[in-house]
Each structure stands twice: as C-alpha cells, then as structure tokens.
Chain A
C-alpha cells in the first residue's frame, strides 16, 4: 500500500478485531458462556469450555478459580502446546438450589492476555414451588389454620401430593385448588406448650420430597419490671449492729 497512514489504520483495525495477532501465545475459547438445563433430580450440571492455543508459544495455566465452593473446575493439562486443543470442565454441584444460577470460573494463564472469566448459567427446574416454607404461631395467638400454597412446575404436572407431619400435634388438610395447585392448611391442636413439626410433601409421581416447617413459639420472656413506686417505700436496711464486745 502506498499510503502508510491507511495501512496503519487497517492493521490497527484488524488487530482490534482480533483477526490477526502478533506472534504470541494465546488461548482462543470456543465459548466463554454456557447455558445448562439440568433435568429434575440431576445432582450436577457439567459444562465443557473448549479452547485452542492459536499462538506460537506454549501456554501454562497459572490458576483456575471458581466463584463458589459448589463448582469445581479441572484442566486437562497444565501446559497447552501451540496449536493444541483442550477443555476446562466445570462441574456445578446443584445441591438444593433452584431456579437461575450463575457460577464463574476465572482462568489465569502465563500469556499476555488478562484473565478469562468463564460463565456457567444453569437453570435448575423446580418441581414444586412452596410458599411459605415456614409458618408459626405466637404463644398468645389463636390456633387458627395457616395456609401453605404449593404450585407444580408447568413442565412437570403433579396430579396429587402427599403430606405427612412428623408431629401428631399438628393436623394438615390438603386441597387441590387448580391444575397443579394445592393448598395445605396446617393447624396446631394445642397452644399450651411450644412445639414444632416438619411436614414432608411428596408429589404422587416423584420420589423427591419437599419440607415445610411449622412451630408454636414459646411465650417471650418478659424482663422483670421494677415498679418505680416501690422505690418510694424502700426502707433502708439498718446498719448491722455490732455486738458489744465485753471489755476485759
């Protein structure tokens, strides 16, 4: 090109777009974000982040860190020779999590590039949505029934649910109020003493169980109140009388 300014402009543009690169070591990632959709009952969600060393020098992994103890990331190798491909496997342990989850893996290498953040976006299906998962009665409250609403996911129709209470002092009544919608009325039989129960909810067509807690609270401890009027009538304690010591 005859115009040096134009050549410089084009080269800068191509460099900025990443279409050409100066001789160096660099990992090129196929994807830095993965969307995962684990099935109901899955214990883990696993993402594979694939890369290739597009540079002309080996790349060494300095560190691979995860944003959460629930996610483990593993490299296949410590050093990636030029031209070689590989992947980082990120395993997210679902545990009792539900809904949208985002976990990150931060990868640092010895090339000149800054650290790379790999993102796992997992949508964990929620078989039943239960609200609230805890009901309680104050000691001075009347023992009226409290309601817990249960809604089944649209993707997993639940024809019926079974509810069991760990404490017979609480009675429960289940009512189907719509397609995949249930109402559980919980009522303590007695309010005379603090008590609690763990309710187990199990969909008819699943082995997965869900929990709801219910408690009758203890009466709050009322701190002793000093009656200020009483202080007006305090009779000072007479000084102890020292017995007369017989004189020798």
Chain B
C-alpha cells in the first residue's frame, strides 16, 4: 500500500493546513455556542429589559431612605388588602391593579424636589420594580427608588 509522503507527520510543515483546521474548529465552536443563545433569545423574546435586575443606583436601603426624612414620598406597591392591614406611615397606595385610578392622587402629592421610594413585599418583589419603572418611563419622574428588602426589611428595622 502506497504511503503518502506526509502521512504520520501531523501538521508539521503545513502551517496553512493547521490554520485552516483550527479556523474550522473555531467556527464550529462559535456556531455551537450560538445555538443556545439563539434559543434563549427566541424563548425570552417577550421579556423586556426592565425585567432584568435593576441597577444598584436605583435601589435604596431603609437607612438611606429614612435619612431623607420629609423629602421622601413612600409608595406602597402591594395589593390593597396588605396596604390596608399595615404600611409605612404616610405611604401612598399605588399598584398596577388600579394604576389609572391611583396615579393621579399620588401625583397630587409629588413635587420635583421629593424622592420617591417604592416598596412591596419580598414575596412579590416585582411589584415595586414595575411601579418604579412606570413612574420613570411613563410619568417620567426622576429620583424614583426601590426599597431593598421591601416591607419586611422596613418592619425589621422598625424594631
């Protein structure tokens, strides 16, 4: 059986072949990496950016919010029955269940120099994120923050 002159020599002496081989491998790996990425993009196509974790600059701790004193408007984004049961003193109810009805009374108390701190329960923490997002994007208010740890953290620090 005739043996090719370069058989067994690997890629030695064939830099072009080596480059081509590695390039093919790299392209194959890149293509494979794209498969889950494309799958995820299709699956989560309805998820918009606000559903991503919010930047830390838009979060506030109970201690920080309390330090703002009277310059804060507390917004309770929990369901109405939770608000009725108990809430941060002076807080205003504003949730997406009755957004159109509850927004005007909130805006009547708002003024540009005030900071808005939105909280909800840790059991349903997305509520505060969504209320804060709508206040920023739709009403175009500045200085809107979400309370870290929500209502439970407030209760803990109240003691």
Q: Which residues of A contact B (CB under 8 A)?
A: 35, 67-70, 93, 95-97, 99-100, 102, 121, 123, 130-134, 136, 138, 196, 198, 209-211, 213, 215, 217-218, 220
B46 touches A121 (CB 8 A): yes
In B10-59, which residues have CB < 8 Å from any A CB?
A: 46-48, 51
Interface residues of B, dominant DSSP:
helix
CB <8 Å contact, A133 and B103 = yes
CB-defined contacts of B107 to chain A, threshold 8 Å: 134, 196, 213, 215
Give me the interface of B with A, judged by CB distance under 8 Å. 46-48, 51, 78-79, 82, 95-101, 103-104, 107-108, 111-113, 124, 126-127, 130, 137-141
- The A interface is mostly helix, strand or loop, or mixed, namely strand
With contacts A67-B126, A133-B138, A134-B139 taken as known, whether A211 is within 8 angstroms of B103 at the C-beta atoms is yes
Bound form: Cα–Cα A93–B98 in Å: 11
* Residues of chain B with a CB closer than 8 A to A96's CB: 96-101
Q: A67-B126, A134-B107, A220-B113 are in contact. Are A100 and B48 (CB under 8 A)?
A: yes
| Nearest-Cβ distance from residue B48 to partner chain A, whole angstroms | 6
Bound state CA distance, A133 and B133, in angstroms? 13
Of B46, B82, B100, B127, the contact of A68 (CB 8 Å cutoff): B127
Ordered by A's residue number, 16 sampled pairs between the chains whose C-beta atoms are within 8 Å are A68-B127, A69-B127, A95-B95, A96-B97, A100-B51, A102-B51, A131-B137, A132-B138, A133-B138, A133-B139, A134-B103, A134-B140, A134-B141, A138-B112, A213-B107, A213-B108
Q: Are B112 and A217 in contact (CB under 8 A)?
A: yes
A35: B residues at CB distance < 8 A = 46
Q: How far, in angstroms, from A96 to B102 measured CA to CA in the complex?
A: 10
Given A133-B139, A196-B108, residue A68 in contact with residue B48 (CB < 8 A): no
Bound-complex Cα distance A209 to B62 (A) = 37
Which residue of chain B lies nearest to A215 when distances are taken between CB atoms in the complex?
B107
CB contacts (< 8 Å) of A196 on chain B: these are 107-108
Are B47 and A102 neighbours in the complex by a CB distance under 8 Å?
A: yes
Q: Is the CB of A100 within 8 A of B99?
A: no
The interface residues of chain B lying within 8 Å CB-to-CB of A93 are 97
Minimum Cβ distance to chain B for residue A176 (Å): 22
Contact A68/B98 with A131-B138, A136-B112, A211-B103 known, Cβ cut-off 8 Å? no
Instruction: State whether B108 touches A100 (Cβ < 8 A).
Output: no
